Chains A and B, each alone.
Chain A
Amino acid sequence: MSDLRKARGRFAEGLVISFLKKKKFVVLTTNYRYRSGEIDIIAYDRENKELVFVEVRSKWYKNIGTEWQRIPIVPEDTVNGIKLRKIEKTAWLFLEKESRKWQQYFRNIPLYSFPEWRIDLVSVAVERSSCKAQIRHYKYLYA
């Protein structure tokens, strides 16, 4: 992966983190890796009392029209069932291994059970010249 691509990805993730914080999410970890899987952002949704695994998808365009349909390929197009299942697997591993990280938010949960959790997708379309971005948030993803 080229440095430019990495930098762009990091930039988009930064945008998303501030976006989530504005929505009263608590960010627990970023770029959580376990074996082959990676989850971009793990956050806690205060409103719904759910743990959220966020996948960030970004794409850079020369210019973004006012209508989002004018963008030929939208960032969320690049997520498929295989990717989703990979995230799901990693999410389960996170829930098992890193219980300390999430248990403080779910105090009265019975033994051997897991919190309510979900997978969200945030797509970021960035305009190259102005670095302005369109962000769309999809909740409750399932394959």
Chain B
Amino acid sequence: MKHTSKVKSCAVVGLEPVIIEVETDFFPGTHKFNIVGLPDTAIKESQQRVGSALKNSGAIPPYRLGVVIINLAPADLRKEGVVYDLPIAVGILAASSQIPRETAFLKDSLFVGELALNGDLRGINGILPITISAKKRGFKNIFLPFENASETSVVKGLNIYPVKNLEQLMMFFDRTVEIKIYRAQKTNEPKPEYFFDMGDIKGQEHVKRAMEVVAAGGHNVCLVGPPGSGKTLIARTFPSILPTMNTEECLETTKIFSVAGKLDRGRPLICERPFRAPHHTSSNVALIGGGTNPKPGEISLAHRGVLFLDEFLEFPAKTLDCLRQPLEDGVVTISRAAGSATFPARFILIAAMNPCPCGYATDPEKECSCSHSTVARYQRKLSGPISDRIDIFVSVPRIKYNKLASDEISENSDAIRKRVQKARDTQGKRFQGEQIFYNAEMGNRHLQKYCRLTSEGKELMIQAVRKFHLSARTYFRTFKIARTIADLEESESIEVTHLAEALQYRFQENSLM
């Protein structure tokens, strides 16, 4: 009689799910429980959990089966985590013929879950990428912990069996108990909620306008101004003017949160654009991602959303320079001895900073107490490559009293969002068939194709290059911003006014002082 079984499970390497085959064999002798296939400590310890769980669920405990061998294939991939508890238990049950072995049903099923000693199933992280890949690979059934069922509600066309405990699963295979296939309750179209609204901000109209351009074109922005002028508040309201995420974007974001274990069990799908504001003492690894087995960092958690770096220049220069490559590519590849992982990191960077250590260098009312060299040293922290990747620099001045006290109601976020959405739609149509989505992602090839200037525009640019000594990169960046402004105005071509506004955002950089 053959004593082997094959059960499928799934590992998540970075964000990529890999199907793992859990093979079980046993032969007579005094009890030994061997797990091979590069397991980590958590998996090696799973023999204790699985053994107790099986015993307490009324199955034949592994110690009565003699020598038990578990192989996790592919053998060269390092396995980690606790998702293999359930497949190992099911493998043992199948190998010892306690549940039907080698059925088509078992072949088409995927098992994930952590076991408690009494046989209950505990929730695990990263269930969404697993479920999505299960569907892609043509699996028909997935067995997962009951707690995790709600996270999978976006995946359709797969039988999802939420399992409460091992006993229930065994009875299910005996056909004495039916496990109800999980059906997502009909929820209303997920609606994002915002706590901050741009309408609540008094004054600062030009900053709001700049933010609108940023949101429309997906550019990166740097807000410069004295303390208390509202930089942080504006940044916090920024997600509310961004267009709502489509389903694909929601899934991408939720996947990352799922792998990072930051998903709220009550809210299975993240439909607000993430807003991540790491403190300036964050380490490189916290920001970029990393660890022995790579995990996503803040920039990946901000994928499709906003990464807000308050007190930008207080970040260590090295940390800031880590951002160079992800800002350019929209992905970050983390390589460690244990393996490498690629995480998406397409976010809008909002940096906020003071112009000098005391913060009042640009303030007309309060005198700056910093020496010229201190200011120069402070601003030197912003390295050239990083400032090149920031398209728009906006100065946020102190608000005058009469503005603060006025009852003037400014435009609220919904109205701005509608315009932004329109501009994004235009871009979407324009870049159909290209690999890019926003104006900010345009390369030189796209610029030549989509940013044709009028003769007046050309004249203006010649003057600007001559007067402001624009670098080549800056020159092209100006086009991108002008393109976005033109999109906001629903204009097909780039007019002089658009160019002029774009030039103005660029020059704040040189006049930080």
Does chain B have a CB within 8 A of A17? Answer: no
Does chain B have a CB within 8 A of A116? Answer: yes
Does chain B have a CB within 8 A of A114? Answer: yes
Provide the residues of chain B in CB contact with A140, threshold 8 Å. 31, 63-64
What 0/1 readout, one digit per residue, does chain A (102-143) give for beta carbons within 8 Å of chain B? 000000000001111111000000000000000000001111
Chain B min CB distance to A113 (Å): 8
Point out the residue from A113, A114, A116, A142 that lies within 8 Å of B63, measured CB to CB.
A142
Chain B min CB distance to A38 (Å): 17
Provide the residues of chain B in CB contact with A27, threshold 8 Å. none
Does chain B have a CB within 8 A of A74? Answer: no
Does chain B have a CB within 8 A of A64? Answer: no
Of all chain A residues, the one with the shortest Cβ separation from B63 is: A140
Interface residues on B, range: under 10
Does chain A have a CB within 8 A of B32? Answer: yes
Provide the residues of chain B in CB contact with A88, threshold 8 Å. 29-30
Does chain B have a CB within 8 A of A26? Answer: no
Provide the residues of chain A in CB contact with B32, threshold 8 Å. 142
Bound complex: CA A117 to CA B66 (Å): 8
Point out the residue from A113, A114, A118 that lies within 8 Å of B30, measured CB to CB.
A118
Provide the residues of chain A in CB contact with B157, threshold 8 Å. none
Provide the residues of chain A in CB contact with B31, threshold 8 Å. 140, 142
Judging by beta carbons under 8 Å apart, are B28 and A119 in contact? no
Does chain B have a CB within 8 A of A84? Answer: yes
Judging by beta carbons under 8 Å apart, are A84 and B28 in contact? no
Judging by beta carbons under 8 Å apart, are A117 and B29 in contact? yes
Judging by beta carbons under 8 Å apart, are A114 and B28 in contact? yes
Chain B min CB distance to A49 (Å): 11
What 0/1 readout, one digit per residue, does chain B (48-83) give for beta carbons within 8 Å of chain A? 000000000000000110100000000000000000
Bound complex: CA A88 to CA B31 (Å): 11
Q: List 21 A-B contacts (CB under 8 A).
A: A88-B29, A88-B30, A113-B27, A114-B27, A114-B28, A115-B28, A116-B28, A116-B66, A117-B28, A118-B30, A118-B64, A118-B66, A119-B30, A140-B31, A140-B63, A140-B64, A142-B30, A142-B31, A142-B32, A142-B63, A143-B30
